[in-house]
């Protein structure tokens, strides 16, 4: 492996023949060596590599060589679409060329969830109907059908034109009406390609959804794999816990019953049998309604409440079990998927009611009037990954920000990795010359009533120096929207474009405007702390309004704190601070994306100066110039 890496990445090596002006990067070579060693020895690897080290190519080259040489399959998971696109469209074609120079043929395949692909059976039916119409939708259906049938395109992102959600939902492969898969089924074709691939690229969410299926049935949508590489691994915990979360409510069961009772096979049954099934459904719904009403009564008008005791769901689950068994005994065609989903939801209800696993959190929520849901989710990935992933295959966890205080112990402990190799590679960027951290000395306490007014006024002052090219990161949508309202007119009066994130917005379009229009200010929350990649002078000023501590008003976080304090440990030291640092380092990394980047990171949170941990925060960030006077920003902003 070492000799191959030298031939691939060394002076005059394979990559130098593919990339003009290529100069070997020692950090990238080190990453490749450690990943290759981990795969060959079947060991886990924690790898933190700063921006600009060439991390993705560093792990892809040894992974491809190992997979091809040993006839193995490696799954590479990313969190964001831009990184996934970069790997599939730029990095892997280069790796494929490198392997060709070694007389190897690398095969790779991009895989997403079924909802991203067109179902040929559904599309063909709509196409037949569209031939009798001349509407705009009919023309669009014919255009899609041509692409699918002639060019074999199935991925929504690959069509080259927008398809409205309502139409796409009617043709997506999220569910298929075919009892027997047709020869031209896109999903079946994708499965064949995956079976032949050495490297499969997917996202965290799809991987964990597949792992749930694999743990339940022994099989998943992905073929058997021999190693997994998680890039953007800092996102692994949140995605994993969200995907493994179980939620059951009245509406979910009613939808599943409707799905079942709309099946054509039901019409072929005797009226007495139809009535029998309907009565079982009504009995179940009645009992479940009573159960949820009792839970709702205990909520005391709270939006959510942790549940620490067992809920007796035995009678409700038993009735639904009788329904499923009776329906199966009737041997109806085309209802197995509906019954499987009812069985799974019944299983989830039983699991939540038992409240048995100490490594899980259980809670109830209320939306609107009496719309109660019961939930359960793992408190940390270790609860579901230690057995089923880390005990099965070698796993590489790579990110620019997964260490805290110079070690991986916090992150590794939460993921469930006991034994692992480790690697820390710093960024090649010259932070001391190119970046300044400013913590203004006039900031009020972040929880004071005056803080949001102060934040809006400070943004006006920052704008006077930066002239736009600014990203502002918030920890709550409510605070962001309040500041936006106070700041908006100021931007309009001076000809600046203010873009504010909202649920469902096109994030990539917002980022594109920031890249192309220098008089742009972006206010972002949640997803804007990661994955925003704006290189050069298009982004020169990053404002972090508050330190991103976890919000204790969320059920999982409340449960985390309760668990730690029950063990007589300090929840701030053991959970809140390390989680904050991982997210802060991600946010900080939005400013420096290339060697040409230069600018200021302004942190408006006064705790950076007033709390003892403020010095620890600064030590954990790259070493930069520091000031407590905003006017010093002129010393660092590019001319």
Tens-digit pLDDT profile for residues 154-176: 888 888 888 888 888 888 887 76
In-domain check, residue 239: no
Q: Kindly state whether residues 448 and 549 are assigned to the same domain.
A: yes
Listed residue (166, 156, 164, 175) closest to 255, CA to CA? 175
For residue range 264-306, list pLDDT tens digits in order. Answer: 888 888 889 989 999 999 999 999 999 998 898 888 778 889 9
Start-to-end CA distance of the chain, whole Å, equals 46
Q: Kindly state whether residues 402 and 442 are assigned to the same domain.
A: no
In-domain check, residue 189: no
Greater confidence, 355 or 218? 355
Q: Kindly state whether residues 309 and 415 are assigned to the same domain.
A: no
- Residue 176 has what pLDDT? 66
**Cα dist from 410 to 406, 407, 557, 563, 576, whole Å:** 10, 8, 16, 16, 11
Highest mean pLDDT among 62-66, 209-213, 522-526: 62-66
- Per the CB < 8 A criterion, the answer to whether 559 and 621 are in contact is no
d(C-alpha 172, C-alpha 427), whole Å: 42
Edge-to-edge order in the sheet of strand 199-203: 108-110, 199-203, 74-78, 227-230, 395-399, 45-49, 421-425
In-domain check, residue 372: yes
Number of domains composing the chain: 4
- Residue 182 has what pLDDT? 62
Residues in the chain: 639
d(C-alpha 408, C-alpha 548), whole Å: 20
- List beta partners, residue 421: 45
**pLDDT > 60? residue 506:** yes
Greater confidence, 121 or 194? 194
- Residue 332 has what pLDDT? 86
Q: Kindly state whether residues 475 and 619 are assigned to the same domain.
A: yes
- Residue 57 has what pLDDT? 95
- Residue 483 has what pLDDT? 97
Q: Kindly state whether residues 551 and 611 are assigned to the same domain.
A: yes
d(C-alpha 251, C-alpha 118), whole Å: 27
Mean predicted confidence (pLDDT) in 590-618? 93
For residue range 324-338, list pLDDT tens digits in order. Answer: 999 999 888 888 888
**Cα dist from 558 to 66, 304, 348, 361, 415, whole Å:** 43, 11, 22, 9, 19
What is the CA 548 to chain-centroid distance, rounded? 18
Mean predicted confidence (pLDDT) in 76-92? 92
Mean predicted confidence (pLDDT) in 405-411? 92
In-domain check, residue 84: yes
- % of the chain surpassing 70 pLDDT: 98
Nearest-10 Cα torsion for 208, 210, 214, 220: -160
* Burial annotation 397-417 (CB, 10 A radius, 16+ → b, else e): bbbbbbbbeeebebbbebbbb
Mean predicted confidence (pLDDT) in 125-142? 84
Mean predicted confidence (pLDDT) in 103-113? 94
Mean predicted confidence (pLDDT) in 370-391? 92
- DSSP strand pairing (45-49 vs 395-399): parallel
Q: Give residue 183's pLDDT band: very low, low, confident or very high (50, 70, 90).
A: low
Q: Give residue 547's pLDDT band: very low, low, confident or very high (50, 70, 90).
A: very high
For residue 199, with 0-12 CB atoms within 10 Å meaning exposed, 13-18 middle and 19 or more buried, which class applies? buried
**pLDDT > 90? residue 573:** yes
Residues 6+ apart with CB under 8 A from 599: 434, 435, 436, 469, 539, 540, 541, 542, 591, 636, 637, 638
If phi > 0 it is left, if psi is from -120 to 50 it is alpha, else beta; for residue 21 that is: left
In-domain check, residue 192: no
Mean predicted confidence (pLDDT) in 552-560? 89
Greater confidence, 181 or 87? 87
- Residue 475 has what pLDDT? 96
Phi, psi (rounded to 5 degrees) for 523: -105, 120
In-domain check, residue 191: no
Q: Kindly state whether residues 371 and 408 are assigned to the same domain.
A: no
**pLDDT > 80? residue 218:** yes
In-domain check, residue 400: yes
Mean predicted confidence (pLDDT) in 140-149? 88
Residues 6+ apart with CB under 8 A from 399: 47, 48, 49, 231, 232, 233, 234
DSSP symbol at 404:
B
In-domain check, residue 308: yes
**pLDDT > 90? residue 138:** no
- Residue 518 has what pLDDT? 94
d(C-alpha 174, C-alpha 489), whole Å: 44
**pLDDT > 60? residue 179:** no
For residue 152, with 0-12 CB atoms within 10 Å meaning exposed, 13-18 middle and 19 or more buried, which class applies? exposed
Q: Kindly state whether residues 319 and 410 are assigned to the same domain.
A: no
Q: Kindly state whether residues 558 and 494 are assigned to the same domain.
A: yes
pTM of the model: 0.88
Domain extent, residue 171, equals 115-184
Reduced to 3 states (helix: H, G, I; strand: E, B; else coil), residue 26 is helix
- Residue 139 has what pLDDT? 86
Q: Kindly state whether residues 371 and 460 are assigned to the same domain.
A: no
Helices 26-41 and 55-70 pack at an angle, to 10 degrees, of 30
For residue range 46-81, list pLDDT tens digits in order. Answer: 999 988 899 999 999 999 999 999 999 999 999 988
Edge-to-edge order in the sheet of strand 371-378: 246-249, 371-378, 360-367, 304-306
Q: Kindly state whether residues 251 and 362 are assigned to the same domain.
A: yes
Listed residue (538, 543, 540, 571) closest to 557, CA to CA? 571
Q: Kindly state whether residues 340 and 446 are assigned to the same domain.
A: no
- Residue 177 has what pLDDT? 61
The CATH number of residue 466's host domain is: 3.40.50.300
Reduced to 3 states (helix: H, G, I; strand: E, B; else coil), residue 235 is helix
Q: Kindly state whether residues 63 and 202 are assigned to the same domain.
A: yes
Cα dihedral across residues 313, 315, 317, 320: positive or negative: negative
What does pLDDT average to over the chain? 91
**pLDDT > 60? residue 422:** yes
d(C-alpha 80, C-alpha 117), whole Å: 18
């Amino acid at each position: 492996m070492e000799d191959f890496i030298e031939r691939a990445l060394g002076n005059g090596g394979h990559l130098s023949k593919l990339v003009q002006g290529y100069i070997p990067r020692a950090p990238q070579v080190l990453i490749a060596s450690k990943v290759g060693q981990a795969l060959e020895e079947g060991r886990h690897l924690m790898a933190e590599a700063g921006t600009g080290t060439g991390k993705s190519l560093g792990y892809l080259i040894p992974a491809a060589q190992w997979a091809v040489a040993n006839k193995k399959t490696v799954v590479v998971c990313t969190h964001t679409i831009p990184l996934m696109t970069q790997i599939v469209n730029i990095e892997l074609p280069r790796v494929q060329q490198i392997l060709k120079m070694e007389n190897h043929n690398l095969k790779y395949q991009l895989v997403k969830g079924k909802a991203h692909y067109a179902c040929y059976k559904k599309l063909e039916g709509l196409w037949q109907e569209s031939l009798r119409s001349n509407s705009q939708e009919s023309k669009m259906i014919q255009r899609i059908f041509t692409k699918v049938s002639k060019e074999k395109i199935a991925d929504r992102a690959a069509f080259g034109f927008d398809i409205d959600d309502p139409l796409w939902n009617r043709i997506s492969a999220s569910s298929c009406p075919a009892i027997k898969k047709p020869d031209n089924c896109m999903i079946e074709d994708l499965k064949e390609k995956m079976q032949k691939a050495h490297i499969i690229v997917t996202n965290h969410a799809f991987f964990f959804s597949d792992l749930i299926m694999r743990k339940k049935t022994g099989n998943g949508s992905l073929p058997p794999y021999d190693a997994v590489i998680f890039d953007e691994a800092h996102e692994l915990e949140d995605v994993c816990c969200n995907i493994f979360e179980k939620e059951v409510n009245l509406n979910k069961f009613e939808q599943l019953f409707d799905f079942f009772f709309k099946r054509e096979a039901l019409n072929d049954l005797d009226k007495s049998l139809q009535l029998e099934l309907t009565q079982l459904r009504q009995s179940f719904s009645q009992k479940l309604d009573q159960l949820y009403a009792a839970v709702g009564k205990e909520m005391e008008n709270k939006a959510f409440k942790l549940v620490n005791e067992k809920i007796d769901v035995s009678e409700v689950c038993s009735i639904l079990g009788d329904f499923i068994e009776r329906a199966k005994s009737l041997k109806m065609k085309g209802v197995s998927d509906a019954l499987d989903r009812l069985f799974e939801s019944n299983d989830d209800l039983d699991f939540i009611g038992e409240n048995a696993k100490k490594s899980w959190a259980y809670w109830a929520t209320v939306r609107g009037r009496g719309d109660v849901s019961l939930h359960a989710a793992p408190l940390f990935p270790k609860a579901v990954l230690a057995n089923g992933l880390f005990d099965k295959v070698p796993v590489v966890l790579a990110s620019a920000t997964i260490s805290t205080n110079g070690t991986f112990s916090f992150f590794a402990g939460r993921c469930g990795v006991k034994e692992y190799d480790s690697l820390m590679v710093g960024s090649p960027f010259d932070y001391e010359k190119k970046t300044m951290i400013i913590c203004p000395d006039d900031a009020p306490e972040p929880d004071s009533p005056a803080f949001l007014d102060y934040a809006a006024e400070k943004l006006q002052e920052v704008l006077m120096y930066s002239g736009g090219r600014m990203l502002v990161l918030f920890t709550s949508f409510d605070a962001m929207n309040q500041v936006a309202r106070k700041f908006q007119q100021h931007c309009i009066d001076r000809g600046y474009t203010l873009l504010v994130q909202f649920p469902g917005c096109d994030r990539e379009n917002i980022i594109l405007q920031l890249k192309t229009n220098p008089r742009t200010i972006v206010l972002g929350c949640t997803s804007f702390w990661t994955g925003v990649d704006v290189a050069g002078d298009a982004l020169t000023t990053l404002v972090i309004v508050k330190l991103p501590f976890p919000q204790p008003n969320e059920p999982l976080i409340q449960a985390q704190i309760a668990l730690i304090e029950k063990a007589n440990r300090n929840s701030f030291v053991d959970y809140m601070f390390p989680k904050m640092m991982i997210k802060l380092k991600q946010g900080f990394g939005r400013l420096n994306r290339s060697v040409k980047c230069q600018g200021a990171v302004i942190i408006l949170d006064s705790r950076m100066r007033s709390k003892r941990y403020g010095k620890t925060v600064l030590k954990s960030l790259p070493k930069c110039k520091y000031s407590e006077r905003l006017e010093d920003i002129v010393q660092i902003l590019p001319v």
